[in-house]
Amino acid sequence: MSPGEIKRVIIIGAGQAGGETAQRLRQGGFAGDITLIGEEPAPPYQRPPLSKGYLKGDLDMDRLLLRPASVYAEENITLLTSLRAVWIDRANKRVRVEGGRELPYDALVLATGAKPRKLPLVGADLAGVHLFRTAADVDALKPHFVRDAKLVVVGAGYIGLEAAAVARQLGLHVTVIETAVRPLARVTSPEVAGFFLDEHTRQGVQFVLGGQPAVIKGRERVTGVALVDGMEIPADIVIAGIGVTPDVALAEQCGLTVENGIVTDALCQTSDPAIFAIGDCAARPMAHFDGRMARLESVHNAMEGAKIVAAALTGAKPHTVEAPWFWSDQYDLKLQIAGLFQGYDNVVLRGVMADRSFAAFYYKGPKLIAVDAVNRPAEYLGAKMLIQTGRTIPPGELEDETRPMKELVAAAR
Protein backbone atom coordinates (compact mmCIF):
# COMPACT_ATOMS: atom_id res chain seq x y z
CA MET A 1 0.00 0.00 0.00
CA SER A 2 1.37 3.41 -0.97
CA PRO A 3 1.13 6.41 1.41
CA GLY A 4 -1.43 8.03 -0.90
CA GLU A 5 -3.85 5.15 -0.31
CA ILE A 6 -3.80 5.55 3.47
CA LYS A 7 -6.82 7.53 4.67
CA ARG A 8 -7.37 6.12 8.17
CA VAL A 9 -4.70 5.53 10.80
CA ILE A 10 -5.43 3.99 14.19
CA ILE A 11 -2.83 4.18 16.95
CA ILE A 12 -3.30 1.81 19.89
CA GLY A 13 -1.50 3.17 22.93
CA ALA A 14 -1.62 6.81 23.99
CA GLY A 15 1.76 7.04 25.67
CA GLN A 16 4.76 8.96 24.43
CA ALA A 17 5.18 6.80 21.31
CA GLY A 18 1.51 6.94 20.30
CA GLY A 19 1.11 10.63 21.07
CA GLU A 20 4.23 11.56 19.13
CA THR A 21 3.08 9.51 16.14
CA ALA A 22 -0.25 11.30 15.93
CA GLN A 23 1.40 14.70 16.11
CA ARG A 24 4.11 13.87 13.58
CA LEU A 25 1.57 12.56 11.11
CA ARG A 26 -0.21 15.91 11.20
CA GLN A 27 3.05 17.84 11.06
CA GLY A 28 4.04 15.71 8.05
CA GLY A 29 0.92 16.72 6.15
CA PHE A 30 -1.27 13.66 6.70
CA ALA A 31 -4.86 14.89 6.23
CA GLY A 32 -6.73 11.64 6.85
CA ASP A 33 -8.42 10.32 9.98
CA ILE A 34 -6.22 9.69 13.04
CA THR A 35 -7.66 7.82 16.02
CA LEU A 36 -5.52 7.52 19.16
CA ILE A 37 -6.73 4.95 21.71
CA GLY A 38 -5.41 4.94 25.29
CA GLU A 39 -6.32 2.95 28.40
CA GLU A 40 -5.44 5.77 30.82
CA PRO A 41 -7.75 8.76 31.44
CA ALA A 42 -5.07 11.35 30.65
CA PRO A 43 -3.84 12.46 27.23
CA PRO A 44 -0.32 11.30 26.30
CA TYR A 45 2.23 12.26 28.95
CA GLN A 46 5.89 11.77 29.82
CA ARG A 47 6.65 8.79 32.05
CA PRO A 48 10.27 9.48 33.13
CA PRO A 49 9.32 12.29 35.57
CA LEU A 50 7.00 9.91 37.42
CA SER A 51 9.91 8.49 39.42
CA LYS A 52 11.54 11.90 39.80
CA GLY A 53 9.84 15.30 39.88
CA TYR A 54 6.26 14.04 39.88
CA LEU A 55 6.86 11.67 42.79
CA LYS A 56 8.72 14.38 44.68
CA GLY A 57 5.88 16.86 44.14
CA ASP A 58 7.89 19.32 42.02
CA LEU A 59 5.77 18.69 38.88
CA ASP A 60 2.02 18.42 38.46
CA MET A 61 0.18 16.44 35.79
CA ASP A 62 -0.19 19.42 33.43
CA ARG A 63 3.62 19.67 33.27
CA LEU A 64 3.85 16.02 32.23
CA LEU A 65 1.48 16.26 29.26
CA LEU A 66 3.18 16.09 25.87
CA ARG A 67 0.70 18.70 24.65
CA PRO A 68 -2.45 20.28 26.12
CA ALA A 69 -5.53 18.11 25.71
CA SER A 70 -7.15 20.77 23.51
CA VAL A 71 -4.48 20.33 20.81
CA TYR A 72 -5.85 16.95 19.74
CA ALA A 73 -9.26 18.38 18.87
CA GLU A 74 -7.64 21.40 17.21
CA GLU A 75 -5.61 19.09 14.96
CA ASN A 76 -8.58 16.81 14.26
CA ILE A 77 -7.06 13.86 16.12
CA THR A 78 -9.71 11.64 17.71
CA LEU A 79 -8.39 10.90 21.21
CA LEU A 80 -10.22 8.05 22.95
CA THR A 81 -9.09 7.77 26.59
CA SER A 82 -10.00 5.23 29.28
CA LEU A 83 -10.66 2.74 26.49
CA ARG A 84 -9.03 -0.59 25.72
CA ALA A 85 -8.60 -2.17 22.31
CA VAL A 86 -9.46 -5.86 22.61
CA TRP A 87 -9.22 -7.36 19.12
CA ILE A 88 -7.54 -6.82 15.77
CA ASP A 89 -9.16 -8.25 12.64
CA ARG A 90 -6.30 -8.15 10.14
CA ALA A 91 -8.27 -9.63 7.27
CA ASN A 92 -10.86 -6.84 7.38
CA LYS A 93 -8.58 -4.19 8.88
CA ARG A 94 -10.69 -3.42 11.90
CA VAL A 95 -9.98 -2.82 15.60
CA ARG A 96 -12.58 -3.76 18.18
CA VAL A 97 -12.66 -1.79 21.44
CA GLU A 98 -14.40 -2.47 24.74
CA GLY A 99 -18.15 -2.32 24.31
CA GLY A 100 -18.03 -3.98 20.90
CA ARG A 101 -17.46 -0.95 18.64
CA GLU A 102 -15.27 -1.69 15.61
CA LEU A 103 -13.06 0.92 13.95
CA PRO A 104 -11.68 0.52 10.40
CA TYR A 105 -8.07 1.31 9.51
CA ASP A 106 -5.80 1.45 6.51
CA ALA A 107 -2.68 1.54 8.68
CA LEU A 108 -2.43 0.49 12.32
CA VAL A 109 0.29 1.50 14.78
CA LEU A 110 0.80 -0.58 17.93
CA ALA A 111 2.30 1.55 20.70
CA THR A 112 1.03 -0.59 23.56
CA GLY A 113 4.11 -0.13 25.73
CA ALA A 114 5.01 -2.44 28.59
CA LYS A 115 3.48 -3.61 31.84
CA PRO A 116 5.30 -3.68 35.19
CA ARG A 117 6.11 -7.10 36.59
CA LYS A 118 4.17 -7.88 39.71
CA LEU A 119 6.11 -9.38 42.61
CA PRO A 120 5.55 -13.18 42.42
CA LEU A 121 5.14 -13.40 46.18
CA VAL A 122 2.46 -14.14 48.72
CA GLY A 123 1.34 -10.76 50.04
CA ALA A 124 1.93 -8.88 46.79
CA ASP A 125 -1.74 -7.79 46.80
CA LEU A 126 -1.58 -6.18 50.24
CA ALA A 127 -2.30 -2.49 50.64
CA GLY A 128 0.97 -0.57 50.60
CA VAL A 129 2.56 -2.70 47.85
CA HIS A 130 2.89 -0.55 44.73
CA LEU A 131 3.72 -1.01 41.08
CA PHE A 132 5.34 1.90 39.32
CA ARG A 133 4.31 2.61 35.74
CA THR A 134 1.45 5.09 35.46
CA ALA A 135 0.54 8.44 36.95
CA ALA A 136 -2.23 6.65 38.85
CA ASP A 137 0.38 4.32 40.38
CA VAL A 138 2.35 7.30 41.66
CA ASP A 139 -0.80 9.13 42.81
CA ALA A 140 -1.62 6.11 44.98
CA LEU A 141 1.89 6.12 46.41
CA LYS A 142 2.37 9.84 47.12
CA PRO A 143 0.21 10.14 50.28
CA HIS A 144 2.39 7.50 51.97
CA PHE A 145 5.69 9.09 50.93
CA VAL A 146 6.13 10.92 54.23
CA ARG A 147 9.09 11.55 56.52
CA ASP A 148 10.19 8.56 58.62
CA ALA A 149 8.03 6.07 56.71
CA LYS A 150 9.82 2.79 56.00
CA LEU A 151 10.17 2.07 52.28
CA VAL A 152 11.41 -1.20 50.80
CA VAL A 153 12.26 -1.17 47.10
CA VAL A 154 12.51 -4.58 45.46
CA GLY A 155 14.82 -4.23 42.47
CA ALA A 156 17.80 -1.93 41.97
CA GLY A 157 17.29 -0.81 38.39
CA TYR A 158 16.91 2.81 37.35
CA ILE A 159 13.28 3.13 38.48
CA GLY A 160 14.03 1.60 41.87
CA LEU A 161 17.07 3.78 42.49
CA GLU A 162 15.31 6.95 41.31
CA ALA A 163 12.43 6.26 43.70
CA ALA A 164 14.92 5.52 46.48
CA ALA A 165 16.68 8.84 45.85
CA VAL A 166 13.41 10.80 46.04
CA ALA A 167 12.43 8.92 49.19
CA ARG A 168 15.68 9.80 50.93
CA GLN A 169 15.32 13.44 49.91
CA LEU A 170 11.86 13.41 51.53
CA GLY A 171 13.17 11.82 54.73
CA LEU A 172 11.97 8.23 54.37
CA HIS A 173 13.97 5.24 55.61
CA VAL A 174 14.89 3.22 52.53
CA THR A 175 16.04 -0.36 52.00
CA VAL A 176 16.70 -1.72 48.51
CA ILE A 177 16.61 -5.47 47.93
CA GLU A 178 18.38 -6.72 44.82
CA THR A 179 18.88 -10.37 43.85
CA ALA A 180 22.07 -9.55 41.90
CA VAL A 181 25.35 -8.78 43.64
CA ARG A 182 25.24 -5.12 42.59
CA PRO A 183 22.65 -2.53 41.57
CA LEU A 184 22.05 -1.74 37.89
CA ALA A 185 23.57 -5.13 37.07
CA ARG A 186 21.81 -5.48 33.71
CA VAL A 187 22.29 -1.96 32.45
CA THR A 188 25.82 -0.82 33.26
CA SER A 189 29.34 -1.89 34.16
CA PRO A 190 30.52 -2.94 37.63
CA GLU A 191 32.51 0.31 37.86
CA VAL A 192 29.50 2.59 37.30
CA ALA A 193 27.24 0.35 39.37
CA GLY A 194 29.72 0.58 42.22
CA PHE A 195 29.69 4.36 42.02
CA PHE A 196 25.91 4.50 42.37
CA LEU A 197 25.97 1.94 45.17
CA ASP A 198 28.44 4.11 47.08
CA GLU A 199 26.43 7.27 46.40
CA HIS A 200 23.13 5.81 47.61
CA THR A 201 24.83 4.31 50.66
CA ARG A 202 26.32 7.73 51.46
CA GLN A 203 22.82 9.19 51.20
CA GLY A 204 21.53 6.69 53.77
CA VAL A 205 20.00 3.95 51.61
CA GLN A 206 20.43 0.44 53.00
CA PHE A 207 21.11 -2.33 50.47
CA VAL A 208 20.49 -6.06 50.67
CA LEU A 209 22.41 -7.39 47.67
CA GLY A 210 22.06 -11.01 46.66
CA GLY A 211 18.82 -10.99 48.64
CA GLN A 212 15.83 -13.08 47.64
CA PRO A 213 12.40 -11.95 48.90
CA ALA A 214 10.23 -14.85 50.07
CA VAL A 215 6.99 -13.28 51.27
CA ILE A 216 5.46 -9.89 51.92
CA LYS A 217 4.23 -9.76 55.50
CA GLY A 218 1.03 -8.20 56.76
CA ARG A 219 -2.68 -8.87 57.16
CA GLU A 220 -4.53 -6.06 55.45
CA ARG A 221 -1.56 -3.76 54.94
CA VAL A 222 2.11 -4.51 54.42
CA THR A 223 4.29 -4.62 57.53
CA GLY A 224 7.51 -6.06 56.14
CA VAL A 225 9.36 -8.18 53.61
CA ALA A 226 10.81 -11.54 54.64
CA LEU A 227 13.77 -13.00 52.74
CA VAL A 228 14.51 -16.66 52.06
CA ASP A 229 17.38 -16.56 54.58
CA GLY A 230 14.96 -15.58 57.36
CA MET A 231 15.84 -11.90 57.48
CA GLU A 232 12.82 -9.62 57.84
CA ILE A 233 12.78 -5.94 56.84
CA PRO A 234 10.03 -3.73 58.31
CA ALA A 235 8.05 -1.80 55.69
CA ASP A 236 5.21 0.68 55.54
CA ILE A 237 5.51 0.81 51.74
CA VAL A 238 6.91 -1.63 49.17
CA ILE A 239 7.70 -0.66 45.58
CA ALA A 240 8.12 -3.41 43.00
CA GLY A 241 10.88 -2.35 40.63
CA ILE A 242 11.65 -5.66 38.96
CA GLY A 243 11.23 -4.55 35.38
CA VAL A 244 8.52 -4.70 32.75
CA THR A 245 7.27 -7.02 30.05
CA PRO A 246 6.23 -5.80 26.59
CA ASP A 247 2.48 -5.62 26.10
CA VAL A 248 2.13 -7.93 23.11
CA ALA A 249 -1.28 -9.47 23.81
CA LEU A 250 -3.02 -7.85 20.81
CA ALA A 251 -0.10 -8.69 18.53
CA GLU A 252 -0.16 -12.34 19.59
CA GLN A 253 -3.94 -12.50 19.26
CA CYS A 254 -3.81 -11.42 15.62
CA GLY A 255 -0.81 -13.59 14.72
CA LEU A 256 2.03 -11.09 14.36
CA THR A 257 5.59 -12.27 14.89
CA VAL A 258 6.55 -11.76 18.55
CA GLU A 259 9.92 -12.45 20.19
CA ASN A 260 10.76 -10.30 23.21
CA GLY A 261 8.47 -7.70 21.73
CA ILE A 262 6.64 -7.29 18.44
CA VAL A 263 9.26 -7.94 15.76
CA THR A 264 9.62 -5.22 13.14
CA ASP A 265 11.95 -4.22 10.35
CA ALA A 266 13.96 -0.99 10.26
CA LEU A 267 10.82 0.91 9.22
CA CYS A 268 8.95 -0.41 12.29
CA GLN A 269 6.79 -2.56 10.02
CA THR A 270 5.58 -5.84 11.50
CA SER A 271 5.01 -9.15 9.72
CA ASP A 272 1.76 -7.54 8.47
CA PRO A 273 2.71 -4.64 6.13
CA ALA A 274 -0.35 -2.62 7.27
CA ILE A 275 0.67 -2.80 10.94
CA PHE A 276 3.58 -0.97 12.59
CA ALA A 277 4.90 -1.32 16.15
CA ILE A 278 6.94 1.21 18.12
CA GLY A 279 8.19 1.99 21.60
CA ASP A 280 8.57 -0.37 24.55
CA CYS A 281 6.43 -3.10 22.94
CA ALA A 282 8.57 -3.46 19.80
CA ALA A 283 11.92 -4.97 18.83
CA ARG A 284 13.68 -3.58 15.77
CA PRO A 285 17.15 -3.76 14.19
CA MET A 286 19.62 -1.22 15.57
CA ALA A 287 21.22 0.75 12.75
CA HIS A 288 24.43 1.58 14.62
CA PHE A 289 24.93 -1.91 16.02
CA ASP A 290 25.13 -4.13 12.94
CA GLY A 291 21.36 -4.52 12.72
CA ARG A 292 21.15 -6.33 16.05
CA MET A 293 17.53 -6.72 17.19
CA ALA A 294 16.75 -4.88 20.40
CA ARG A 295 13.74 -3.80 22.39
CA LEU A 296 14.57 -0.51 24.06
CA GLU A 297 12.61 1.07 26.91
CA SER A 298 13.32 4.78 26.50
CA VAL A 299 11.88 8.13 25.52
CA HIS A 300 14.30 8.26 22.62
CA ASN A 301 13.10 4.94 21.24
CA ALA A 302 9.48 6.07 21.49
CA MET A 303 10.23 9.30 19.65
CA GLU A 304 12.40 7.55 17.07
CA GLY A 305 9.66 5.07 16.26
CA ALA A 306 7.13 7.89 15.85
CA LYS A 307 9.41 9.70 13.41
CA ILE A 308 10.10 6.54 11.39
CA VAL A 309 6.43 5.58 11.09
CA ALA A 310 5.22 9.11 10.32
CA ALA A 311 7.77 9.33 7.49
CA ALA A 312 6.71 5.94 6.11
CA LEU A 313 2.98 6.75 6.20
CA THR A 314 3.32 10.19 4.64
CA GLY A 315 5.91 9.27 2.02
CA ALA A 316 8.40 11.72 3.47
CA LYS A 317 12.17 11.31 3.38
CA PRO A 318 13.13 8.41 5.69
CA HIS A 319 14.11 9.50 9.17
CA THR A 320 17.86 9.41 9.93
CA VAL A 321 18.16 7.21 13.00
CA GLU A 322 20.11 8.48 16.00
CA ALA A 323 22.24 6.41 18.36
CA PRO A 324 20.13 5.19 21.30
CA TRP A 325 20.16 7.47 24.34
CA PHE A 326 18.81 7.31 27.87
CA TRP A 327 19.11 9.21 31.13
CA SER A 328 18.56 8.90 34.88
CA ASP A 329 18.41 11.59 37.59
CA GLN A 330 19.40 10.55 41.11
CA TYR A 331 20.01 13.23 43.75
CA ASP A 332 22.08 15.89 41.96
CA LEU A 333 23.58 13.33 39.60
CA LYS A 334 22.54 13.32 35.95
CA LEU A 335 23.50 10.09 34.23
CA GLN A 336 23.35 10.37 30.43
CA ILE A 337 23.84 7.27 28.32
CA ALA A 338 24.48 6.93 24.60
CA GLY A 339 24.79 3.68 22.70
CA LEU A 340 24.40 0.08 23.89
CA PHE A 341 27.12 -1.23 26.20
CA GLN A 342 26.31 -4.96 25.90
CA GLY A 343 29.24 -6.94 24.56
CA TYR A 344 31.94 -4.43 25.58
CA ASP A 345 35.40 -5.75 26.43
CA ASN A 346 37.07 -2.60 27.70
CA VAL A 347 35.90 0.39 29.75
CA VAL A 348 37.88 3.63 29.94
CA LEU A 349 37.18 6.28 32.58
CA ARG A 350 37.56 9.98 31.89
CA GLY A 351 37.44 12.01 35.08
CA VAL A 352 37.44 10.91 38.70
CA MET A 353 34.47 9.16 40.28
CA ALA A 354 35.18 10.77 43.66
CA ASP A 355 34.54 14.17 42.05
CA ARG A 356 31.03 12.97 41.07
CA SER A 357 31.76 14.00 37.50
CA PHE A 358 33.13 11.39 35.10
CA ALA A 359 32.37 9.36 31.98
CA ALA A 360 32.79 5.64 31.32
CA PHE A 361 33.48 4.85 27.65
CA TYR A 362 32.75 1.31 26.46
CA TYR A 363 34.74 -0.32 23.67
CA LYS A 364 34.26 -3.53 21.75
CA GLY A 365 37.68 -4.13 20.31
CA PRO A 366 38.77 -0.78 18.87
CA LYS A 367 35.20 0.47 18.41
CA LEU A 368 33.44 2.86 20.80
CA ILE A 369 29.93 1.48 21.42
CA ALA A 370 28.56 3.38 24.45
CA VAL A 371 29.13 5.92 27.18
CA ASP A 372 27.80 6.45 30.69
CA ALA A 373 28.37 10.12 31.56
CA VAL A 374 27.72 11.39 35.09
CA ASN A 375 27.46 15.18 35.21
CA ARG A 376 29.52 15.26 31.99
CA PRO A 377 27.30 16.57 29.15
CA ALA A 378 30.23 17.24 26.79
CA GLU A 379 31.39 13.63 26.99
CA TYR A 380 27.85 12.37 26.48
CA LEU A 381 27.20 14.54 23.42
CA GLY A 382 30.62 13.81 21.95
CA ALA A 383 30.31 10.05 22.33
CA LYS A 384 26.76 10.09 20.94
CA MET A 385 28.00 11.88 17.81
CA LEU A 386 30.88 9.43 17.39
CA ILE A 387 28.61 6.38 17.68
CA GLN A 388 26.18 7.84 15.13
CA THR A 389 28.97 8.49 12.63
CA GLY A 390 30.87 5.25 13.28
CA ARG A 391 34.00 7.03 14.46
CA THR A 392 36.05 6.40 17.57
CA ILE A 393 38.72 7.86 19.85
CA PRO A 394 41.71 5.71 20.84
CA PRO A 395 41.16 4.77 24.49
CA GLY A 396 44.47 6.22 25.64
CA GLU A 397 43.56 9.70 24.40
CA LEU A 398 40.38 9.85 26.46
CA GLU A 399 42.20 9.70 29.75
CA ASP A 400 44.05 12.95 28.94
CA GLU A 401 41.70 15.56 30.38
CA THR A 402 43.92 18.42 29.25
CA ARG A 403 42.38 17.84 25.81
CA PRO A 404 38.75 19.03 25.66
CA MET A 405 36.17 16.51 24.47
CA LYS A 406 35.29 18.75 21.54
CA GLU A 407 38.91 18.55 20.31
CA LEU A 408 39.01 14.77 20.67
CA VAL A 409 35.76 14.39 18.73
CA ALA A 410 37.00 16.65 15.92
CA ALA A 411 40.14 14.51 15.57
CA ALA A 412 38.34 11.16 15.74
CA ARG A 413 38.46 8.74 12.84
- Specify burial of residue 19 (Cβ count, 10 A radius: 0-12, 13-18, 19+): buried
| The domain over range 3-115+245-314 is classified in CATH as 3.40.50.360 | no
| Same topology between domain 3-115+245-314 and domain 118-242 | yes
The pLDDT assigned to 331 comes to 96
Instruction: Give the residue among 175, 162, 126, 169 at the shortest CA–CA distance from 146.
Output: 169
The pLDDT assigned to 369 comes to 96
Q: Are 409 and 398 in contact (CB under 8 A)?
A: no
Output 380-384 pairs: Cβ under 8 A, ≥24 positions apart: 380/336, 380/337, 380/338, 382/406, 382/408, 382/409, 383/338, 383/339, 383/359, 384/322, 384/323, 384/325, 384/338, 384/339
Cα-based angle 147, 42, 325 (whole degrees, multiple of 5): 75
Round to whole Å and give the CA distance between 239 and 58: 20
The domain 118-242: what is its CATH number? Answer: 3.50.50.60
Number of CB atoms found within 10 A of residue 412's CB: 17
The pLDDT assigned to 413 comes to 86
122 has which bridge partners?
Answer: 215
Side chain identity, residue 182: R
Fold of 332-411: Enolase-like; domain 1 (3.30.390)
The pLDDT assigned to 1 comes to 66
Per-residue pLDDT of the chain (413 residues; tens, 9 = 90+): 677 789 999 999 999 999 999 999 999 999 999 999 999 999 999 999 999 999 999 999 999 999 999 999 999 999 999 999 999 999 999 999 999 999 999 999 999 999 999 999 999 999 999 999 999 999 999 999 999 999 999 999 999 999 999 999 999 999 999 999 999 999 999 999 999 999 999 999 999 999 999 999 999 999 999 999 999 999 999 999 999 999 999 999 999 999 999 999 999 999 999 999 999 999 999 988 888 899 999 999 999 999 999 999 999 998 889 999 999 999 999 999 999 999 999 999 999 999 999 999 999 999 999 999 999 999 999 999 999 999 999 998 988 888 999 999 998 88
Residue ranges per structural domain of the chain: 3-115+245-314, 118-242, 332-411
Q: Are 349 and 357 in contact (CB under 8 A)?
A: no
